[in-house]
Structure 1
Amino acid sequence: MIKELQDLDHRLTRRAAERIPPAAGGLLSALEASAQHSKLWCGTALLLATAQGRRGRKAAAAGMAALAVAQLLSNAVCKQLADRPRPPRHWFAHDKVNDRPDSSSFPSGHTAAAVAFTAAIAPVAPLAGALCTLPAGLVAVERVHSGAHYPSDVLAGAVIGVISAGLVHGAARAVRGRLELLMHHGRVSVSGVCGRLL
């Protein structure tokens, strides 16, 4: 079973390398460059925070927190535990394959960050979350097309992203519940503190 899954992983990687036309590959590369070091998501968070008032600030804070958790889990934990080589260079005819890091292929940190940010902002700002779904998905496709990752690396990154968003929202609910309890018992009297902070 594991061998069959590995073979499928490899076949999908080679198909992504061979079947995506050069023009689309260039578009994917440009998108990946904007997502490098989370620039795309930081810019989106800034736009949300400045253009959509309290709701936008809340969404931006959730998105950036989830992104940070996803980066920590994927790069500082999972990549250290799973030292997986990148896909073989000779599978890819383009030069993009030469511009990839030497770290573990598993999981995709780019995908983890993209999905974490998108999943975290969606419950607070649904339209922004919907709009971010497309670039997040294209970042995942680009990571396979560029030769940086296998599809399973990208899938694992997406799972980490969803988990990270869930952790952030769960922590926010726990803090909000605790503050509401304290306010109910008269220990905190600042009106609206939960809404402003969370």
Structure 2
Amino acid sequence: MKYTYSRTVIPILFAIFLFSGCATKSGNWGSDATLLPGWKAVGHAAAEAALDPLTWAPLGAALCFQIENFDRRVSDWAVDQNPVFGSMENASDVSDTLKEASKINYYVTGITVPTQEGWRGLGDRALGLGVGWVAMTSTAKMTDWMKAGFARERPDKSDKRSLPSGHTSGASVAATLAAQNIEHMPIPRGLQLAWMGASYGVAGLTGWARVEAGVHYPSDVLAGFALGHFLGRFFNDAFITPAYQDKVAVSVDAFSRRDLALSLHYRW
């Protein structure tokens, strides 16, 4: 018997889409999005992403799993007992479904988060979604490079691409990007926190499903979660909603072919 979560996950996400879409006529998400944030902004975003507890805490936990072969013992127990998903086959199927659900959740938030009205808002949304796509693609590429570099054998010995978990990193980056978008939703804070928690919960369940499926150790999925969260937070803070901006900025505005205005801005 296979789990068919897509029959319930997709309708739920569609309902969220309709609910949040009722309040998307105003807002400024993506209004600061840029493809050229500057090196200081990039450095600041990288530092903030690295210091985020959802980046370093999973990495610390992954290291703890190396003590006294705890990693393999938990993996063997999960495969033998399958306490959440019932069987290795179910766990494998569910991990695929949950990973896709994380992506759908991200795109729902990206489509429904309020932006400016008119063509400017459409441009902001397109740029924001584009950066999100780049973040998810970069996460997949980085995961593949790390798999090749670490060459860790999977618990089922099928290959040497165990570390980090690609399913988990993919679900994690999508959950992180979605959580940043949810922060801009004009909905009660309690609902924001519940939606964000559910997004991260789906990513966590994706990782555990990979453990029960026998294709990853717990440390693999923890490393994958940390990688996805780091890149999701980094791309969001550097390109979509910059958390750092230079105090001094120079801009050139063109009013016509002959009229140009040079502006100097100083942020206190």
TM-score after normalising by structure 2: 0.53
In structure 2, C-alpha distance between the alignment counterparts of 1:124 and 1:7, rounded to whole Å: 39
Structure 1 partner of 2:80: 18
Distance 1:170 1:46, change over 3 A: closer
Q: 1 or 2, which has the higher strand percentage?
A: 2
Name the aligned partner's letter for residue 42 of structure 1.
K
Q: 1 or 2, which has the higher helix percentage?
A: 1
Higher relative contact order (CA closer than 8 Å, sequence separation 6+): 2
Name the aligned partner's letter for residue 32 of structure 1.
S
Query: Percent of aligned pairs with the same residue?
Result: 22
Name the aligned partner's letter for residue 110 of structure 1.
H
Unpaired stretches in structure 1, ≥5 consecutive residues: 90-100, 191-198
TM-score after normalising by structure 1: 0.69
Describe how 1:42-121 pairs up with structure 2 within 5 A: 42-54=103-115, 57=125, 60=129, 63-75=132-144, 77-88=145-156, 102-121=159-178
Name the aligned partner's letter for residue 19 of structure 1.
Q
Greater CA drift, 18-27 or 103-112: 18-27
- Of 67, 72, 75 in structure 2, the residue corresponding to residue 5 of structure 1 is 67
Query: How far has the Cα of 1:8 moved from its partner?
Result: 0.7
Alignment check: 8 A CA contact 2:136 2:170 kept: yes
Query: How far has the Cα of 1:32 moved from its partner?
Result: 1.5
In structure 2, C-alpha distance between the alignment counterparts of 1:3 and 1:33, rounded to whole Å: 25
Name the aligned partner's letter for residue 116 of structure 1.
V
Alignment check: 8 A CA contact 2:109 2:178 kept: no
Question: Aligned pair 1:32/2:95, yes or no?
Answer: yes
Unpaired stretches in structure 2, ≥5 consecutive residues: 1-62, 117-123, 184-191, 256-268
In structure 2, C-alpha distance between the alignment counterparts of 1:50 and 1:121, rounded to whole Å: 11
Greater CA drift, 57-66 or 120-129: 57-66
In structure 1, C-alpha distance between the alignment counterparts of 2:67 and 2:82, rounded to whole Å: 22
In structure 1, C-alpha distance between the alignment counterparts of 2:237 and 2:212, rounded to whole Å: 34
Q: For each residue in 1:93-133, what CA deviation from the matched residue of structure 2 results, as whole angstroms up to 9, or x when unmatched?
A: xxxxxxxx635111101111111111222133143432212
Name the aligned partner's letter for residue 173 of structure 2.
A
Query: How far has the Cα of 1:54 moved from its partner?
Result: 2.8
In structure 2, C-alpha distance between the alignment counterparts of 1:188 and 1:66, rounded to whole Å: 31
Structure number with bigger Rg: 2
Name the aligned partner's letter for residue 124 of structure 1.
N
Alignment check: 8 A CA contact 1:45 1:60 kept: no
In structure 2, C-alpha distance between the alignment counterparts of 1:102 and 1:147, rounded to whole Å: 12
In structure 2, C-alpha distance between the alignment counterparts of 1:5 and 1:171, rounded to whole Å: 36
